[in-house]
Amino acid sequence: MLKKLLLSIIGLVLFTLYSCSPKHSEIIVAEYGKYNVTMEEFENAYAKNVGSFENAQKDSIQNYNKFLDLFVNFKMKLRDAQVRRLPEDEAIVNELSDYEKTIGASYLLEKELYEKGIQDLYDKRKYELRVSHILLRTDKTTPEEAEKKALAILDSIKNGASFEDMVRKYSEDQFSKNKGGDVYYITAGTILPDFEDIAFNTPVGTVNQTPLKTKYGYHIIKVTDKIERAPQIRASHILIRKEGEDKAVDDKSRYQLVQDILSKLKNGEDFGELALQYSEDPGSKEKKGDLGFFARRQMVQPFDEAVFALNVGEISDVVETQFGFHIIKLTEKTKYPSFESEKKSLRDMFERTRKNSDYEKLIDKYDDEVKLVMHDEVFKEVVSNANEVKINQQYWESDLHNNFGDKVLFTIGDEIYTTDSLYSFAIKEPKNFGKVTDQNTLNGFLNDLKNQKVIEAKAKDLVNTDKEFAGLMDEYKNGILIFRLQEEEVWNKMKMDTTEILKLYEQTKDSYVWPNRVQYREIASKSDSLLNEILGMLKHGSKVDEVIEIYSDQIKINNSELIDANTNAITKAANELENVGDFTDVIRNVNVWSIIELVKKDASRTKTFDEARAEVTSAYQDIESAHLENQYVSRLKNTYEPELFYEELENAYKN
C-alpha cells in the first residue's frame, strides 16, 4: 500500500513538473534591447538551417551556441533595417511586390493544381474500377439530340430498365456493345480526365447521375467493380496450343493434355518442371514458364482476368485464349508504392493527362472568386477591326491602337485590361512576333492574359491567408534587407587600396606558389603503328613541324598552356623530358596513342605580384569585408547590448 502511494505521489510530482514546464514559445534564449529570441524561434531557424528537425535534434550543443551567436546578429541587423526604414524604400517595395506577384502565382499553381492533382492521382491509383458504358456519338447527330437521347436512356435506367438491355439497344461503341458495355478495368491517369472523375465518384453497382460529354459523345457510365490495385504481378504459365487440321479433334485431344497436366499439378508435381516438359510458349518455356512482371491489360483479357484473380502461389484452372490453353501460376504481387517514391512519375503523368483540364477547372473557379467580368462585345469589335495587325511594335502606330487601344476587354475587381494590355502581353513573348491577329490568335492571347491575371489576383492575398507563403515572403524580404545593409555597411565602404594589397602580398607571398609546370605539344592518333612510324622519322632527324605537315590529315595536334606538371599522365611524361624539343616514345593516352614534345618547363617558384594579383585582391577583400562586418556588428552590440542564455539551449528540441 505504501509503495503504491509513493508511486502515485512521484507520478503526480512528475506530471505537475511537466505541466508547469514553460512552452518553448515562452523560453527566452536571447535578448537584445527590448526584443528577444524564443526557444521556438531558435529551433525553427536552426532546423531550417540544417535541413530538418531530425537533423537538428542530433546536433551538438556547441553548434547550437554558434548558431545562436549568428542568429542574434541577424536579428539585430533586421532591427537596424527597421530603424533605417528600409522596408519603406521604394526600390525594395517594388522588388518585393514583383517577387510576390511572380512567386505567388507559381506557388498557388504548385499547391492548388500540382500538389492536389498528384495526391488525387496517387489516391485513385490505389484502386482499379471495372466499368461499362453506353456511348451516344455526336459525329452522326447534333450534340443536343445526343444529350436528349442520353437523358431519356438514363431516366429509363433509373426507372428500372436493365443497363445491359439499354447497351444492346442504344450504345454506339462497337467495341463494348456486345459485352454489355464492359470496357474492363481502368486505372486513374490512363483515361480521359472527365471520364475518370465520374467513374471514381460513382458507387459500385450504380450509374452516373447525368450524362458525361467527352470528345467522343455522351456517356452513361456504370461501375461494376472496385478492387485494390496491384501495380504489377509476376506469373508463370504452361501453354498448350490448338493445332492440327481437324480442329475439333485436335482441340479435344490437346484440351485433354492440358487437363492431364493440371491433374499432375494437383498431385504435387513441380510447375516449373512441367512447363519445361510440356509448354509450347518458346518465350517462357526455358524459364520454367516465367513471364516476368506485367501490369493489368498487358495480356489478352481472358488471361488477364484469370491471373489477376489469383492469390500468390495459386494455380488457375484451364484458361482458353486465341493462343491456346493456359495453366497459370501467380508467383508475385508488387505492393502499392509510397507517395514519395512515386511522386516524380505521378507528376509526369499528371502533366500528360490531367494538368490542362484541371487547370481550366481551377481557373473557372477563380474567375468567380476574383470577380472577373469579360466584355465580350468589345472583344468582338476589336477582332472585327484587327485587320490582320501583326504582333510587333507597329501595333502602336496602327488604327487599332488609336481607335481601340483603351477599350476595356475585361476587369478583375478594380483592375482593368484593355486592347493595349492584350497587345503588350502578346508582343513581350518572342514566339508571337510577326503573328497575324485573326480571331483565333486573339482568342488565344486573351485567354492566356486573362488566366495569368486571374492567377495573379488570386495570389495577391496569399501572404494573409497562407502561413507557408507568408514565411517565404518574410525570408525573401529579410534577405533583401540584409543585402541592402551589407551593401551600405560593407561593400560600399570597402576601398581597394593597391598599396595595402601589395603590402598583404609581401606579408603572405609564400602562400602564392606556382607548382612545377610544363607546356607541351601532343601528336595523337588512334593508330599506334602510324605514331611509331612518325617516331622513327623524328629519331632520324626529321623536324616535328615537317612531320606534322606530312601527316596532318591522319593525326591530331593538341597544344597545352603552361600547366601543373602533376595534372595527368601526359604532363608527368612531359615533365620527365630534359630539354625543350625532346619528345617521348609512343604512349597510351585514354583512347588514343600519343607522342609528347616538351615546349617549356618552369620549376616551382613564388608567384610575382602581377601573377598573384587576383588571388591577393580576393584575400584582401575577404579581410577588409570581415573587418567592416565586425565593426558593424560591434556597433549593433553597443546599441542593443545582447545577452545570450546558452544554458537554455540544453533543452533545445526536448519535450
pLDDT in tens, 15-64: 333 344 567 778 999 999 999 999 999 999 999 999 999 999 999 999 99
Q: Residues 519, 561: contact at Cβ < 8 Å?
A: yes
Look at residue 134 and give its three-state secondary structure.
Answer: strand
Checking if the pLDDT of 591 tops 50, the result is yes
Average per-residue pLDDT in the chain?
Answer: 93
Cell of 89: 524604400
- The DSSP letter of residue 207 is B
435 pLDDT band, cuts 50/70/90, is confident
**Are both 240 and 328 inside the same structural domain?**
yes
The answer to whether residue 596 sits within a structural domain is: yes
Condensed to tens digits (0 to 9), the pLDDT of residues 392-414 reads: 998 999 999 999 999 999 999 99
CATH number at residue 274: 3.10.50.40
| 62 C-beta neighbours (distance < 10 Å), count | 10
Chosen domain end from 55, 73, 91:
73
Q: Which residues pair with 327 in a beta bridge?
A: 238
**Are both 251 and 218 inside the same structural domain?**
no
**Are both 206 and 254 inside the same structural domain?**
no
The answer to whether residue 465 sits within a structural domain is: no
The answer to whether residue 18 sits within a structural domain is: yes
Which of 571, 581, 586, 518 has the alpha carbon at shortest distance from 545?
A: 581
**Are both 215 and 270 inside the same structural domain?**
no
10 pLDDT band, cuts 50/70/90, is very low
Q: Residue 225 belongs to what H/E stretch?
A: strand 217-228
The answer to whether residue 108 sits within a structural domain is: no
Condensed to tens digits (0 to 9), the pLDDT of residues 599-625 reads: 999 999 999 999 999 999 999 999 999
**Are both 178 and 265 inside the same structural domain?**
no
Chosen domain end from 333, 352, 378:
333
SS3 for 299-313, per residue? CCHHHHHHHHCCCCC
Contacts of 132 (CB under 8 A, 6+ apart): 163, 164, 167, 176, 179, 180, 181, 182, 183, 221, 222, 224
Give the Å distances, CA to CA, from 345 to 189, 355, 649: 11, 14, 42
Cell of 547: 612531320
**Are both 222 and 240 inside the same structural domain?**
no
Look at residue 583 and give its three-state secondary structure.
Answer: strand
**Are both 140 and 60 inside the same structural domain?**
no
HSE-up of residue 245 (Cα within 13 Å, Cβ side):
0
Alpha helix positions (H), 509-575: 528-539, 544-550, 569-575
Concatenated DSSP letters of 276-337: HHH---TTTGGGTTEEEEE-TTSS-HHHHHHHHTSPTT-B---EEETTEEEEEEEEEEPPPP
The answer to whether residue 239 sits within a structural domain is: yes
Contacts of 564 (CB under 8 A, 6+ apart): 515, 516, 517, 571
| Stretch 295-307: mean pLDDT | 97
Contacts of 93 (CB under 8 A, 6+ apart): 87
The answer to whether residue 251 sits within a structural domain is: yes
C-alpha torsion angle, residues 502, 503, 509, 510 (rounded to 10): 180
**Are both 185 and 221 inside the same structural domain?**
yes
The answer to whether residue 160 sits within a structural domain is: yes
| Stretch 362-366: mean pLDDT | 97
Q: Which residues pair with 415 in a beta bridge?
A: 412
Distance CA 433, CA 394 (A): 11
| 635 C-beta neighbours (distance < 10 Å), count | 13
HSE-up of residue 624 (Cα within 13 Å, Cβ side):
18
The answer to whether residue 382 sits within a structural domain is: no
Q: List the domain range (segments joined by +) for residue 548.
A: 513-606
Percentage, residues of the chain above pLDDT 70 = 95
Domain count, the chain: 4
Checking if the pLDDT of 221 tops 80, the result is yes
pLDDT for position 22: 62
**Are both 237 and 200 inside the same structural domain?**
no
**Are both 219 and 271 inside the same structural domain?**
no
Give the Å distances, CA to CA, from 28 to 22, 41, 640, 651: 10, 10, 16, 12
pLDDT for position 250: 66
Give the Å distances, CA to CA, from 106 to 109, 112, 114, 452: 5, 10, 10, 10
* Residue entry with cell 482441340: 251
**Are both 215 and 254 inside the same structural domain?**
no
**Are both 536 and 581 inside the same structural domain?**
yes
Look at residue 577 and give its three-state secondary structure.
Answer: coil
Condensed to tens digits (0 to 9), the pLDDT of residues 245-273 reads: 445 556 678 899 999 999 999 999 999 99
